[in-house]
Structure 1
Amino acid sequence: MSLYSEYYVSPKSERFVSKIWCLDNSAGENLIENKLVLPNGCFNLAIVCGNAIEVHTSKKKYEMNEGFYFCSQMTNKVLVNIRPQTKVTIIQLHAWTLSIFPQYDLSNFTDSIIEIAVSELPFKINLKDAVETILENLNSYFEKTVDLNPDQNSIEKVCEIIKLSENEISVSEIVKTLNFSQRLIQIKFKSATGLTIKKYIQILQFRKSVDQMIDTDIEKRSLTEIALYNKYFDQSHFIRKFKDVTKTTPKTFNPDSYFLSKKR
């Protein structure tokens, strides 16, 4: 049984849901400890079954017993310990997904986790549901959500521009493209995601560089090439930003210590 696995919603639901990923130590007799997760610009809804997991963010340590948890945007690496007979199923939501629920203000909610009641969820889901059942219920809910929201709102538009930009892009360029008030969109973006637009850009930039390092032979591709390809000023700038998040250098980075996305 694989400790880490990924599952994917329907193409239509992918507008709001990135994927489901599972950390499965349900058959294990030993603690899985000191595994790491990198920020990726998404929110996560975690369903913990069995004993518990410990999660250390840059702010505090959380003991997550059986239940449902909402995980904010993370800006630094997160350390995870998974106790025996424990399985965690995680629904990964795009940065703009929460913006379709304007009643939530996430301005000051980053690097944090809160326990929530199942009744607070907008879609039907149970603690012991199999992944296949969760996928079915998510697709049913979010496919209807897409139909009810055919047009992108301002937060989704900002994220789309950042995602599709081939060159380094500034906040001023984004608001000029969309003809928005810079102050207003900054406030709206932070309320919906907990991040500034600039920080969101930096997180995507960093994660893209890590994924590229893993998918290529770093001995064949220099750090300078990776840095410039991912829009850092130079190699030194890349290394400094890399250390800010991982507390290690690209050369000493060990992918086996991390739960990293699978290449689809």
Structure 2
Amino acid sequence: MYFKEYYPGEFFSKYIDSYFEIDSRYIIEDITDLVVPDGTFGLLFIDEKNLKRSKSINNPPITLKKSTVFGQKTKPINYYFTKGNSSAFGIKINPCGFHLFTGLTSKEFKDLFVEIDLLGNSDLLDLESKVFEANDIDKKINEVEAYILLALKKYGLDDDHFLFESIVEYIYCHRGEVRFNSLIETFNTNYKRIERLFLKYLGITPKTYIRIVRFNAAVNLHMNNKNESLTQIGLQLGFFDQSHFIRDFKKFTSLSPKSFFDKDISASEKKYLQMLSVRWSN
């Protein structure tokens, strides 16, 4: 299998959604993966030119030559994999963890990917070296988690970040079935403050994040409840009507719900759906 995923322990799961490896030696034929917004950031350590990524499904692919940070996605993109002799180690970073890897506000990375040597972050470059030196997946993960512990001491967590964490967890636990007024009432704050926190730590507005979470919840519900119609799932998650449900699917996948679930999927797309199930079962 050219794509394998791994999961952090309880403490680090607040910051890390999952780890994964890509090994092009196990690719039999060229692969195109549809990658949709899922609320996570990405960090991919690349030691060879084995991966191409398009800015959107309508853009020509760009070869990723160096280790790269990926910002929040609000639209679907494609990854292209070809057979080779190289490997990559990646991290899917939860909303609460991104600032630990960059020290920067997340709004600078929305729908962008940036090579880490352009960030001027010596700590991140040091982590890259340690990841490349580690000769197995456990050691790579240990290096990342040691980095997180040091970053927590360096950057700290203030009241703003604790509030942001609480709001993100609330939205996640409610599967995105949240009205914005309920956030204001539940957390005794105002729209401007919530929006400012989300733009700083997530790079997107809270309303956009709510839509992404609800879309991912819909995908997971359908994958685990084949007997329920898409209409029933949409109603469960608070979509106003079927057209609203379809509109969000097209925004995040470029496909209708039916076309998305009927498409042939690659091995790594299948793994993504399995990762999504793990995320929602926790």
Task: Indicate the TM-score class for this superposition, using the shorter chain for normalisation.
Answer: 0.7 to 0.9
TM-score normalised according to structure 2 size: 0.81
> Aligned to 2:131, which of 119, 126, 130?
126
Q: Secondary structure at the match of 2:164?
A: helix
User: Does residue 1:261 correspond to 2:273, yes or no?
Assistant: yes
Contact 2:175 2:213 in 1 (8 A): no
How do residues 1-264 of structure 1 correspond to structure 2 at under 5 angstroms? 2-28=1-27, 30=29, 32-58=30-56, 61-65=61-65, 67-85=66-84, 86-99=86-99, 103-117=103-117, 119-121=122-124, 124=127, 125-127=130-132, 129=134, 130-142=136-148, 149=157, 153-165=162-174, 168-217=177-226, 220-253=227-260, 254=263, 256-257=265-266, 258=269, 260-262=272-274, 263-264=277-278
- State the one-letter code of the partner of 2:32: N
User: Do 1:13 and 1:143's aligned partners in 2 also have CA atoms closer than 8 Å?
Assistant: no
Q: Deviations over 1:209-261 (max 9, x none)?
A: 112222232xx211111111222112222122112221222222226143523
Aligned residues: CA RMSD: 2.7
1:39–1:75 contact (8 Å) kept in structure 2 = yes
* CA 10–95 in structure 1, closer or farther in 2 if over 3 Å, else same: same
For the Cα contact (< 8 Å) 2:100–2:148, is it kept in 1?
no
1:166 Cα offset (Å)? 6.4
Q: Which runs of 5+ in 2 are unaligned?
A: none
Q: CA deviation at 1:122?
A: 8.1
Partner of 1:261: helix, strand, or coil? helix
Question: Closer, same or farther in 2 for the Cα pair 1:150/1:192, shift >3 Å?
Answer: closer
- How many correspondences in the alignment? 259
Q: Is the 8 A contact 1:51 1:84 kept in 2?
A: no
SS in 2 for 1:114: strand
Contact residue 131 and residue 143 of structure 2 kept, 8 A = no
Measure, in 2, the Cα distance between the counterparts of 1:35 and 1:11.
29
Query: What whole-Å deviation, never above 9, does each CA across 1:154-176 have from its counterpart, x for those lacking one?
Result: 22111011112267322232132
Task: Give the 3-state SS of the residue equivalent to 2:106 in structure 1.
Answer: coil
Of stretches 226-235 and 81-90 in structure 1, the one that deviates more from structure 2 is 81-90
Runs of 5+ consecutive residues of structure 1 not aligned to the other structure? none
CA distance in 2, matches of 1:110, 1:136: 28
CA displacement 1:41-100 (0-9 Å, x = unmatched): 0111011233331111239543201x3100001112220112322323211111122345
> Structure 1 residues 42 and 131 mapped into 2: Cα distance closer, same or farther (>3 Å)?
same
Identity of aligned residues (%): 23
Q: Does structure 1 retain, via aligned residues, the 8 Å contact 2:37–2:76?
A: yes
Inter-partner Cα distance in structure 2 for 1:144 and 1:10: 17
Q: Which has the higher strand share?
A: 1
Give me the whole-angstrom Cα distance separating, in 2, the residues matched to 1:43 and 1:167.
18
